[in-house]
Each structure stands twice: as C-alpha cells, then as structure tokens.
Chains A and B, each alone.
Chain A
C-alpha cells in the first residue's frame, strides 16, 4: 500500500468538506474526488476509525478489478495487473453485464455464450488472473465482490459531467475498501 500511495495521489473522503463552486452550492464528495482524479491515479482511502469501515490493510492479498470490454481500459489495466502479479497479489476481474454494457446481440446460452466467454477471456483475461462475469446492478455487484478484496482498482474515462460516471460515483460513495481510480483516455460513451 505504501508503494502505491507513493506513486499516486491519495485522498480520504471524510476529510473532504465539499469544495465550493460558482453558483453557491458545494461539490459532492464523489464529484470532488472525480475532479481530483482527472488525468492521474487517485487512491481513495476509507475512514480509519477502528469501529468504522475497514482501514487500508498492511499488505494486499487480493485486488478486485471491475472492467468493461473496452480496449482503452484494457491497455490501462494491463501493466498494473502485471505489477500486482509480480508482487504475488491475486487479481480478480469482474465484468458486470449491465444495461449499457450488454452486447448488442445475444443468441443464448450454450454455443453462443461459450464463444462469447471464450473471446472475452482471450481479450481481457491475462494469464494468472480470475475473471467473473455476472449480471445485475453494476454498483451492487462491485460492492459485493469488494468485500473479499483488499483493494479495488477501477478505470474511468475522466468525464466529470453530472450525468456521467454514475457507477464510479456510487462506488466512491459506498466503497468500504481502498479504491484506486485509474484514468483512461477520452470519455467513453458506455461509461455510466
């Protein structure tokens, strides 16, 4: 954890008061975090009170990586996954087939699902990592899977518009594990 925090910016949400913006209202905590995360990795640490959510562990055993199926995200994640593996950290990728991430056509279970999963793994699953595909609400699925992780690493496309990055915002608000936001290229139309 210390090695990561040396390389990235670190923020604790409970210390953010909500920065004022023109017009009089304050930014939400998640919005402020996103503003800080544009263009650079940002580590969001949970509250450190013993009675509260988990603090950052001394050593990472498992990293959860929620992922979409975009090429830009894969490029951003690949070197980080390799670094984690070099440190003998288990990497678990999670892909949630949500409303905006479903393939345009789906022929059904069996041959089609097999071909689709095989291609997904070929494209997105580096050797030595685990990859799970689930359906349902992306936020709930990520938060549920994060329970078993020491760190969650999530890419986002640096679009801080109010109607964008909905999943990332919700995860920021509710995550109890350390969360590393990784900036990826230009705004992605499917990011929500």
Chain B
C-alpha cells in the first residue's frame, strides 16, 4: 500500500478531473494533492487497510461512516455510529450503538481496493479500481448540511456485480436501531440503478441513506422518510454542490496553510477535517475520544474534548463549541449527584462520560497481557472538573460572549468552583491541599497536591468568583465568593521561586531521577519497559503534567517559569500518551525553540498517519488532532486568547526556519480573520476594524487589512 499526500511529487494528476467521481457528478474541483489523502492499495497490507478505514471516515457531526470498502467489511467491527447513541457494553459500561453499513454493494470478492482519495475540501471519498471488465468507481460523502444523510454513487462494470444493489442493499423501509437508554436511530435508504445499456458500459448506482437520530426520543419514521425523499429529489449532483458550499464556508473560517511545508499542511487540514466532522453543530455534541471515526474507547467523552477539541472549535466553529458545552451543561445534574455522593457540594464531572453524565469509567481493564488490572482514573483523576469549566471560559474568550458565561455557562462555573472549595483541606498553616488524585501523568497515581490539578482548581475558583461578582446575583454564591478566593489563594501549587519550577506533586522531587533517555528514545512506552510499580518510583512521566498548566492557563503560572519547567520535565517525559507531543510542541514554540517544537509536532502528525499507538484502526485520536492545530496556532503563530474582554488578539509568531509563511483563518469575537504570519510581521485581513497585538505592538487594523511589524 502506498500513501501520498500533499507534496505533489507523485503522478496524482493535479489539476485534472478528480478520478473516481462517476460521470455526471463532477464540476468545480480539480484534483489538488494539497487537499487529498491518497492511498493506493494493492491488497497486500490488510493492516493498513484497517487503519485507512479510520483515515477515510466521512462524518457530519451526527453520524460517522468508516472508510470501509463497498465490497464488504469485518462484521465484528462497527462501520457506522451516531454521536450520543449508546448501549450497555460489557467491560466498559456503555458503547456507541453500531448501525448498519449503508455503503455495501454486491460486488465480486477480491476486487482490488485500488486508489482511494479523500478530498478534504468537500469530504468526498472516491475509489477507483480499474481492472478492465472489473472496474468499480465509487464516491461517497456525509452531508454536512443534512446531518445523518449519506450519499453513495458508483459505476460498476456489470461483470462484477453479484446481486441487485437495490434489493441487496440497505433497507428501503425505516428500521429502528434503538438505544436502551432512550432514543435511537431510524435508518432508511433508497437505491437507484441505471443499466449501461450494453455489456461493456457500466451500471450506474445512486444511493441515499438517512439516519434520523435522537439520543432521547424515538425518531419518527415519517421524519426519516421525508428526509430521504427530499434528498433523493435533489439528487447526488445537487447534494454534492450543497456539500461543497458548506465545506467551502467551513474552510474559509478554518483553513491553515504552512508555506514551505506542504506535507504538514495536509496533516493540519486532515486534523481540522476530522475535528469538524466529528462534532455536531446543533443540539448537543457528545464527542468521544475517537469521535465518529471508530469504536475504540467506546465513544466515551474524556477531558480530551474539553481541553483539546473545544479550543479548536471555539476559534473556527463556535456553534460546534456551544454544542460541546451543551453536552456538559445538560449533565450538570449527574455531576452534582456525584459530588453529593462524595459528601461534597457543587458538581464533579466524571472522568469518562456517556449517555447521561454518570461516571462510566471502567474500574477494571486489561493490561498489555490481557490481565485484568484496577483502573483508578474514575475515582482519582479529578482535574476534568476544572477542565470543563475552562472549556466554557475558553468558548467565551474566543467569542467575546460574556452572556454565555452569565447565562447557560454560569452554573458550570459556579458549581465546579463550589466543588473545589469543598474539596480542599486546610493545614495548620492556612494552606489548602487536594490529596489523593491522579494528574495528567498517569504513571503516578494517588498523589497529593498535583500541581496541574491545584493550579486548575485555583483558576476555576478565581474565574468563578469574578463571574459571580460580575453577574450581580444575589444568590447564595455571592456569599461564597470570599471562601472561593481564600481557597484559591491558599492552594499550594508546588512552585519554588528559587528554581522557578513546580514540583509535579508532593514528593515528586524525591523520586528516583531517571530520565527517559536512560530508557530509550521517546516516544516510549515506559510502563512496558519498567512496569508500573518500578516506573512509579521514578521521575519519568507519561505526558505533560506541570506543563499542561502552562498550556491551558499560562496566566495562572508564575511569570517566566515556562523555560525552567520545560528544561526539567521535557527530558523526563516519555510521550507515552498521544496527548503529549503536541502540547510540548506548542510550549517549545512559545519558548522560542522552534526546531524542537517542529520535531515534536511531526511526532504528533505521525500518531494516526503512521499508527504509532497501533490502535488507529479503532479510530483517530481526536485530542491529538486538536493538539496539532493548537501547536500551529497557539504555538508557532502565538495566537493567544485569555478572556472575553481581551482588548486585542495577541499574535506572536515564532516560525521554524523552513516555514516561509503561516496562513491561518479563525474567528475572534465573531469577526472572521485571515492571518498571514511571517517571521517578523503579520498581515491581518478583517472585514471590520480589529485590534491586535503583534510581537508586543498594539495595532488597530482597518478593513480590508494591513501589515503589522
């Protein structure tokens, strides 16, 4: 199998009509290797074929369809899932309901997979397998404007059809796939077949599939039928034109181009494509660790979504961000119940969440040998509560929307702060502590005063206090504010002024000072090298922990402390987690170490595209995709937002030598901006006047735009 990307060196026919698009379904978009992930599959490598199924997932925020071949797929592996639709599952509590594939065609076995192309510009996946009288061309996409609707168009030589695509296809009558927790998905499809008229002319197949999904109520067959009829009436060509318009608008708000690095450009676009595809823009968005791209992690929602996915969406698609936050807001009741069960007030969000916000973290799970071992994150990894509050604040910071924080987001901020205020305990020196937690570094469990947890809790308390005072409320929380501020001020964070370093948790500095280089070259599965017990006795960490505070809340860390903590913790970090490389890339870029940052960004880029975890066949690592974007935007471009009332958008590029320009699109305070970052200057294009601070220089940009620096 050969994969190609945006370097243009192959013979992919740039500028020509996109191969794979059946006749009558084209017009408008010539092939462009800068936007296309191409896989040539000769059938020799079944492993990468499964990984490619994840790469080639097409999704619309509601329903995701893996890039399986039309000839068939592993029946053990779910092909189609719907966001937020769960069912009970052994070992993991709940998992996404597997839905039937709508892409299967009755074609002969052993048809080569051929050449497959995912065009990120419009999310169309094409396939061409051209073997004389065994030719098959297909194109499919998930309608961005019609969530739950998928389109498949195919041309098949009559000789390879082994059945009738209509009667051997998905059901033409709405079929319900219920969730035991309520709601379900109604699936119905319509297939049209047009004979070629002679044996040497291909048969044309058009199929539209509709998934009417509701996590709460049973969808109505009439709804599904109506959507199907409307889509069929429009036809594939019109649906594709609509798709292109929808994605063109998205890319106008989100595109990134790294001039001088076309391969990394394609990786960033790939990341954005799947982040946007896996997130609903209406209602609530339950974005699992692998999104809609695969079954791994059972569709459970982790802090990955709040800390890694939402920050991207906040800048490029605020409607999606609201949907992500609505998922959390609607589960505040469950978070309150958890806090109550712990004997505390406020809201404690679960480490893993699914249909109703209760904690679905398995308490036991397999290790690498399949041996059942205890899983303690559900009990001890509490920083997620502050991460949820942070996500709400981050949305407001990008949109400038205080009304969200004083409105729907208000209870999130207040209840989480209330939780932390009761969570701390005080020593006889008036210092506050949070004991028995797990920080982001999961190599060390049940620690006291994890710096990241405490810094985030402090941030949470302070922001909530500010918000309550700003709101002018006369609710009980106004009386709590002094206690919140006291708890925030009293929380220990392990910071040592003499060294400029944070101690990751109480006692960390007394652990054996092993560095990762002593064990091998990172990324490194250090727990497989040393074993968990031995590893926990060392200073080796799994991923950014102290540095996560610098990543999420730099304003809450000691000024000038980034360098000292990078120097100390980076050599101790194994990057065992896919969350780690991009965080470090971001911070190294901010620290002016651009080449090192680029090297780690390239590791992040390889997580899914080179299957570093050997689990990409189970779905893409969405948090890593979000981290890639953050490394480029917050790291190399130095774009910084902090508060809804930021007077200026901060832009502070620190580009690697090989990058000529970094072009990126985003929206700040509702204004779409196009930035062109060079090493010493930035061009800001804006339809309205906007204030920016570039390399410390404040500038007022008048439309259509101008250079600063």
A residues within 8 A CB of B289? Answer: 111
CA distance A69 to B47 in the complex (A): 10
Main secondary structure of the interface of B (DSSP, over half): loop
Asked if B187 is an interface residue, CB under 8 A from chain A, the answer is no
B residues within 8 A CB of A104? Answer: 523-525, 612-613
Known: A105-B525, A106-B525, A133-B369. Contact between A114 and B91, CB under 8 A? yes
Output the nearest chain A residue to B290 by Cβ-Cβ distance.
A115
Asked if B50 is an interface residue, CB under 8 A from chain A, the answer is yes
Q: Are A71 and B370 in contact (CB under 8 A)?
A: no
Q: Are B578 and A111 in contact (CB under 8 A)?
A: no
CA distance A102 to B542 in the complex (A): 15
Q: Are B368 and A113 in contact (CB under 8 A)?
A: yes
Q: Which of A69, A99, A108 contacts B529 (CB 8 A)?
A: A99
CA distance A107 to B619 in the complex (A): 14
Asked if A123 is an interface residue, CB under 8 A from chain B, the answer is yes
Interface size class of B (residues with CB under 8 A): 35 or more
CA distance A116 to B289 in the complex (A): 15
Q: Are B578 and A105 in contact (CB under 8 A)?
A: yes
Q: Are B618 and A115 in contact (CB under 8 A)?
A: yes
B residues within 8 A CB of A134? Answer: 369
Output the nearest chain A residue to B296 by Cβ-Cβ distance.
A115
CA distance A115 to B51 in the complex (A): 13
Q: Are A106 and B528 in contact (CB under 8 A)?
A: yes
Asked if A118 is an interface residue, CB under 8 A from chain B, the answer is yes
CA distance A120 to B370 in the complex (A): 12
Q: Are A112 and B369 in contact (CB under 8 A)?
A: no
Known: A111-B92, A111-B298, A115-B618. Contact between A106 and B613, CB under 8 A? yes
Output the nearest chain B residue to A131 by Cβ-Cβ distance.
B370
Q: Are A116 and B369 in contact (CB under 8 A)?
A: no
CA distance A132 to B46 in the complex (A): 22
The smallest beta-carbon distance between B205 and chain A, in angstroms, is 30
B residues within 8 A CB of A116? Answer: 368, 613-615
Q: Are B613 and A107 in contact (CB under 8 A)?
A: yes
Q: Are A115 and B297 in contact (CB under 8 A)?
A: yes
Stretch from B307-315, B359-367, B468-476 that touches the partner: B359-367
Output the nearest chain B residue to A111 by Cβ-Cβ distance.
B297
Output the nearest chain B residue to A75 by Cβ-Cβ distance.
B44
CA distance A103 to B91 in the complex (A): 24
Output the nearest chain B residue to A101 by Cβ-Cβ distance.
B528
Q: Are A97 and B91 in contact (CB under 8 A)?
A: no
Chain A 138-185 residues near chain B, CB threshold 8 A: none
Output the nearest chain A residue to B618 by Cβ-Cβ distance.
A115
The smallest beta-carbon distance between A154 and chain B, in angstroms, is 20
The smallest beta-carbon distance between B29 and chain A, in angstroms, is 34
Asked if B446 is an interface residue, CB under 8 A from chain A, the answer is no
Q: Are A105 and B575 in contact (CB under 8 A)?
A: yes
Chain B 610-644 residues near chain A, CB threshold 8 A: 612-615, 617-618
Asked if B109 is an interface residue, CB under 8 A from chain A, the answer is no
Q: Are B368 and A106 in contact (CB under 8 A)?
A: yes
Main secondary structure of the interface of A (DSSP, over half): mixed
Q: Are B615 and A119 in contact (CB under 8 A)?
A: yes
Q: Which of A99, A102, A112 contacts B615 (CB 8 A)?
A: A112
B residues within 8 A CB of A113? Answer: 365-368, 370
CA distance A116 to B365 in the complex (A): 12
Q: Which of A99, A105, A106, A109 contacts B366 (CB 8 A)?
A: A109
Q: Are A105 and B576 in contact (CB under 8 A)?
A: yes
Q: Are A115 and B531 in contact (CB under 8 A)?
A: no
The smallest beta-carbon distance between A176 and chain B, in angstroms, is 25
The smallest beta-carbon distance between A78 and chain B, in angstroms, is 11
Q: Are B368 and A97 in contact (CB under 8 A)?
A: yes
Asked if B68 is an interface residue, CB under 8 A from chain A, the answer is no
Q: Which of B366, B442, B525, B614 contacts A114 (CB 8 A)?
A: B366
Chain A 80-120 residues near chain B, CB threshold 8 A: 97, 99, 102-120
Q: Are A122 and B367 in contact (CB under 8 A)?
A: no
B residues within 8 A CB of A128? Answer: none
A residues within 8 A CB of B362? Answer: 110-111
Asked if B342 is an interface residue, CB under 8 A from chain A, the answer is no
The smallest beta-carbon distance between A140 and chain B, in angstroms, is 15
Asked if A20 is an interface residue, CB under 8 A from chain B, the answer is no
Q: Are A102 and B617 in contact (CB under 8 A)?
A: no
Q: Are B612 and A110 in contact (CB under 8 A)?
A: no
Q: Are A114 and B369 in contact (CB under 8 A)?
A: no
B residues within 8 A CB of A99? Answer: 520, 529
Residue from A102, A105, A113, A116 with most neighbouring chain B CB atoms (10 Å)? A105
Chain B 306-330 residues near chain A, CB threshold 8 A: none
Residue from A97, A102, A111 with most neighbouring chain B CB atoms (10 Å)? A111
The smallest beta-carbon distance between B25 and chain A, in angstroms, is 34
Q: Which of B46, B76, B375 contacts A123 (CB 8 A)?
A: B46
CA distance A97 to B526 in the complex (A): 12
Apart from A109-B365, A114-B92, what are 10 other A-B pairs with CB-CB below 8 Å? A69-B614, A99-B529, A103-B613, A112-B613, A114-B296, A116-B614, A119-B615, A122-B77, A133-B368, A135-B528
| Interface residue ranges, B against A (CB under 8 Å) | 45-47, 50, 74, 76-77, 91-92, 289, 296-298, 300, 362, 365-370, 373, 375, 377, 442, 520, 523-525, 527-529, 531, 542, 575-578, 607, 612-615, 617-618
25 residue pairs A–B, Cβ–Cβ below 8 Å = A71-B46, A71-B47, A97-B528, A99-B529, A102-B529, A103-B528, A103-B613, A103-B614, A105-B523, A105-B575, A105-B576, A105-B577, A105-B607, A110-B362, A111-B296, A111-B300, A111-B362, A112-B615, A115-B615, A116-B368, A117-B368, A119-B617, A122-B617, A132-B370, A135-B368
Closest 3 CB pairs of A and B: A110-B365, A106-B525, A115-B296
